[in-house]
Structure 1
């Protein structure tokens, strides 16, 4: 591990935990949160977070078949329309690459999720991106 951000910046870590808890309370659909946290962590290359969130999803009863196929979700039929909308939204927000999020991307997620669900899921996606960057930067071991 390069550095221990929980020890070096405990106030930041505590604030991140508090925000994470608030965001979790705003997201009633834990299935979508699990799927998107895993997918975003895969995209960002955070092995620590992928490992942790897969275990959490399994504990919450998500089937292994589903979890094994998250990385290739567009190629499978095991994900619901809601799952697909959330995963696409997560990928869009994670791979910004200096571009804006199109109205078509937003319309696609809004076709399956309410405005409140989109807002809460967006916060969750932003939070996991922050956790990933801390984990990758610190090289958290798996």
Structure 2
């Protein structure tokens, strides 16, 4: 089967097989976020929230499963889409979620100053850059998976994490 034909898990195109270099570049950028020192659960929460906003079923499936495996409560997962209405999220998580939403829904006005001020109060310069890169990465993955109809529902925890050298 050629890469441009339908393959299991990809409704339109298996982008990983068609362009392994692009896949490696995306993976490398994702590694930067994971090695940055930002909390794994924080990164997974922003991955899930951006995926909810973008409507990426594959990524919602993946990041929900990863958060459950990391011990995040069902309640915290269920309420993520309305995180402003609950006290379940720490000030740091709230700032990261607001930043995620602002960057994911980036419009003509850019990122509002109040959102920037909130995230600056919780993250140092390096963390803020790494957080921003992480949000860009998940938005990129969402766009690849949505464009090529990556199928949701089959993700296994840890199966797409890079192997340790």
Deviation at 1:4, TM superposition (A): 0.8
- Counterpart-to-counterpart distance in 1, 2:145 and 2:75: 26
User: Any conservation in 1 of the 2:50–2:100 contact (CA below 8 Å)?
Assistant: yes
Structure possessing the higher relative contact order (Cα contacts under 8 Å, 6 or more residues apart): 1
What is the CA RMSD across the aligned residues, in angstroms? Answer: 1.2
Q: Counterpart of 1:111 in 2: which secondary structure? A: helix
* Alignment pair present for 1:133 and 2:143: yes
Deviation at 1:77, TM superposition (A): 1.6
Q: Structure 1: any 5+ residue segments left out of the alignment?
A: none
TM-score, L = length of structure 1: 0.94
Runs of 4+ displaced beyond 3 Å? none
Structure 2 counterpart of 1:81, from 64, 86, 91 = 91
- Counterpart-to-counterpart distance in 1, 2:135 and 2:98: 11
TM-score, L = length of structure 2: 0.82
The aligned counterpart of 1:48 is 58
Deviation at 1:98, TM superposition (A): 2.7
Q: How many residues align?
A: 142
The aligned counterpart of 2:160 is none
Question: Structure 1 or 2: larger helix share?
Answer: 1
User: Any conservation in 1 of the 2:95–2:115 contact (CA below 8 Å)?
Assistant: no
Q: Structure 2: any 5+ residue segments left out of the alignment?
A: 1-10, 153-165
